[in-house]
Amino acid sequence: MKYDIAVVGSINMDVIVETPNYPEYGETLFCDSITMKPGGKGANQAVSVAKLGKKTCLIGAVGNDSAGKQLIQNLDSKNVDTTHIIRSEEAGTGTFVAMIDSTGENTMVGAKGANDSLTTEDMKKIFEQIEAKILLIQMETSQDSIIAAMKAAKERNMYVILDPAPAEGIFDEAFKYADLITPNKQETKRITGIEVTDEASALEAAKKLSGLGIKDVIVKMGEHGSLVYQNGQATVVDAIKVKAVDTVGAGDCFAGALASSYLDTNDLVESAKFASVAAGIKVARHGGQEAIPTLKEVQEYVGK
């Protein structure tokens, strides 16, 4: 089957806790609300791609449980092809708990569950059945599946975008198969040892990432925008000015929008500008995948 963008990644049920403040160690607090929402970096990115008008499939795994069934139904309803999602009999669906404070910042803890059950053979079998121009992948599934997917994509001349998230999942071998890497500040520090505080430190980190053999680099600097580094040249793309109310999934929205724009423009700077708008719209809204903007909404913002 042919797709514009293939996404390999996690599929989770997220438990969202909205609280005025994070509790101290050992403390009990009453929160504002607790809700369950579809999530997972792979699922979020695939939904972002689909809402921006591209044909996409999600390659991943859920448990053969009620949460897994709900998550697949949700993806189907958002025009994400779920043909290549594996239903694990051994592991349950991945589950993450996200705490969001009054500033909109989030802290997460979770279990990968079925996401970690994906194997090299799974990837080989699936990639024999698909064609795509871009592979978008993160680091929330098994290491074997990540490497196998990236290798298969390179063999098929796909442009491989590695979103090295979460930082906990980072491992060096994946870097050699990436055409573009898009770390945030925490992930950049994990990989390079450099704390990104401004444009100069972002550039230093980008050069170090490029030295790992990765052709293209985008260092995400949060509210300070992002730094695009390619062919020895750096360009800073500003973030749009919004009041952040919910940052859950913002990086995933950025990744999906970046891949979608790059498919059309083949221009990383323009794609980073487009992705910054999409992510900015996302963080100004409450909610998960439903808060990811459509192509029309991004175009209308850009046209203001």
Q: Do the annotations mark residue 303 as ligand-binding?
A: no
The set of residues, in sequence order, having a beta carbon less than 8 Å from that of 201 and lying 6+ positions away, is: 194, 195
User: Annotation-wise, does 198 bind a ligand?
Assistant: no
222 in a known ligand binding site: yes
Residue 76 appears among annotated catalytic residues: no
> Is residue 238 annotated as involved in ligand binding?
no
Is 63 annotated as belonging to a binding site? no
- Cα separation of 258 and 278, whole Å? 9
Q: Is 272 annotated as a binding residue?
A: no
Q: Do residues 39 and 248 touch, judged by C-beta distance below 8 A?
A: yes
Q: Is the dihedral of CA 115, 116, 120, 122 positive or negative?
A: negative
Per DSSP, helices labelled H in 166-218 are: 185-192, 199-210
User: In angstroms, rounded to a whole number, what is the distance separating the alpha carbons of residues 145 and 124?
Assistant: 9
51 known ligand binder: no
Q: Does residue 123 have a known ligand-binding role?
A: no
Instruction: Give dist(CA 107, CA 246) in Å, integer.
Output: 11
Edge-first strand listing for the sheet containing 180-181: 85-88, 56-63, 2-8, 131-137, 159-162, 180-181, 216-220, 226-230, 233-237
> Any binding-site annotation on 155?
no
The answer to the question of whether 68 is labelled as a binding residue is no
Gyration radius (Cα) of the chain, Å: 18
The one catalytic residue in 238, 252, 264, 267 is: 252
Residue 225 annotated as part of some ligand binding site: yes
Is 221 annotated in a binding site? The answer is yes
State the amino acid at position 288 in one-letter form: G
**8 Å CB contact between 209 and 192:** yes
116 annotated to a ligand binding site: no
Is 287 one of the annotated binding-site residues?
Answer: yes
- CA triple 8-107-86, angle to 5 deg: 25
**Binding-site residue set for K(+):** 246, 248, 282, 285, 287
**Binding-site residue set for ATP:** 184, 220-225, 251-252
Active site residues: 252
**Binding-site residue set for substrate:** 12-14, 40-44, 140, 252
**Binding-site residue set:** 12-14, 40-44, 140, 184, 220-225, 246, 248, 251-252, 282, 285, 287
